[in-house]
Homo-oligomer: A and B are copies of this chain.
Amino acid sequence: MIDELRSDGELVSAMAAVRSAAGDLEALARVAWSVVAEPGDGVAGALVQALGASEALRVALDDGVGPVPGRGRAELAEGRARWRVRAEVRAVAAAVRAAGDVQARLLIPGDPEWPHAVDDLGAHAPMVLWVRGDASLLSAAPRVAIVGARAASGYGEMLAGDFAGELAASGAVIVSGGAYGIDGAAHRAALGVEGRTIAFLAGGVDRAYPQGHRQLLQRIVATGAVVSEVPCGTAPTKWRFLARNRLIAALADATVVVEAGWRSGSLNTAGHAAALGRPLGAVPGPVTSAASAGCHRLLREYDARCVTTSEEIRELWGISGYVEGSAQEGPGVDPERRRLRDALGVRTPSTVTELARRSGLAPTRVSALLGLLELEGDARRADGGWLSGHSDRR
């Protein structure tokens, strides 16, 4: 197939429109792979990793291939059977032409804008990325995924907007999936503060999905980036939504789920983030809200971190030098001072001995602490003893 592709003049000229450099063989082969294999096809990925895309394509459609590291002969035979039914030059050409029509750019590994973060997916890394808008955003830092349910509540959309707006205003790139609900609120808030945002689509970048977000996606193309790994013309399917989720999780430095139902697809994104070792945050909500049930599940089962402010989200990727809080701080500190403060009256002065008896502290300790409390305004001298520094001793 690779020879047919390179000799198709129309295809080669179409490639020039989606690549800044002259169309090279590797790019052409990767586009072909993105057409013949579904997103995340690990056998295809392993083959391309081992042989390079064009050589992999050559042997994939040919029975004579030898062993590929980590992959059995049966797996390759099955892969070949599923790739062959899609191996058509005209499908590749159509994908490239459609991309050119919407000014999408083709990125492959090795390109300056290729985001190394997605390489962590290993054999499941994308073959290519199609980008409409500013491809440099894919490698801009920090990138935070703000995702969640389409069936979001007002509470969830408000928080998604607050968090995305605050994070985008401080320079973070907001990554999301372009869907209704949480995703849309996050993208819109980023645009609203003239911040940067990336929408990862499950279908081709030439398709506005959902239709109701056509204008929103156009705005994202204008100042941010709309990205997909599947060729233009490809319809989003449930499988592709799930596959797309792994790209959001891999690209982002941290993923935050704002609202999600018990079986929401956002849990799938979260699962990928956790599996990749990316920090994962979940926003709690009322336990009476079904739209927060998935977030609570993330806290319970995925070891997600509970995040309630944009500052806490920032801590996920360590921007603010967060130090894990000490559990016993606050009410438990300095018990002796607490006891002595408890013992001081507001009207009737007490002697040191009385204070010692009341607080259970030694008289010498009471005397020493009274000096400290006096300095801090918590105790004051009075006729014949000591009073609380405050009119209400509680």
Contact = CB atoms under 8 A, between A and B. Distances in A.
Contact of A362 (B82, B239, B305, B394): B82
Contacts of A275: 327-328
A283 interface: yes
Nearest to A355: B85
B327 A301 contact: yes
Interface stretch (A142-150, A190-198, A334-342, A384-392): A334-342
Contacts of A271: 327-328, 332
A339 B364 CA distance: 78
B306 A237 contact: no
B274 A301 contact: no
Nearest to A245: B331
State how many copies of this chain the complex holds: 2
Interface string A251-288: 00000000000011101100100110000000111111
A43 B118 CA distance: 58
Contact of A284 (B265, B267, B287): B287
Contacts of A36: 360
A79 B265 CA distance: 61
B338 A239 contact: yes
Interface residues of A, number: 69
A190 to B, nearest CB: 20
A325 interface: yes
A86 B330 contact: no
A308 interface: yes
Contact of A238 (B265, B284, B297, B338): B338
Given A300-B312, A338-B239, A362-B78, A331 B267 contact: yes
Nearest to A158: B288
A273 to B, nearest CB: 10
Contacts of A353: 85
A81 interface: yes
A78 B366 CA distance: 11
Contacts of A274: 327
Nearest to A340: B239
A263 B292 CA distance: 25
A280 B239 CA distance: 38
A287 B296 contact: no
Contacts of A171: none
A233 to B, nearest CB: 13
Interface string A344-374: 0000000001001101111111000000000
Interface in A85-115: 85-86
30 contacts: A36-B360, A37-B360, A82-B356, A82-B360, A86-B360, A155-B286, A159-B287, A237-B339, A237-B342, A238-B338, A239-B338, A239-B342, A239-B359, A242-B335, A265-B331, A267-B330, A267-B331, A268-B332, A271-B332, A274-B327, A275-B328, A283-B287, A284-B285, A284-B286, A285-B287, A299-B306, A300-B306, A300-B307, A300-B312, A302-B327
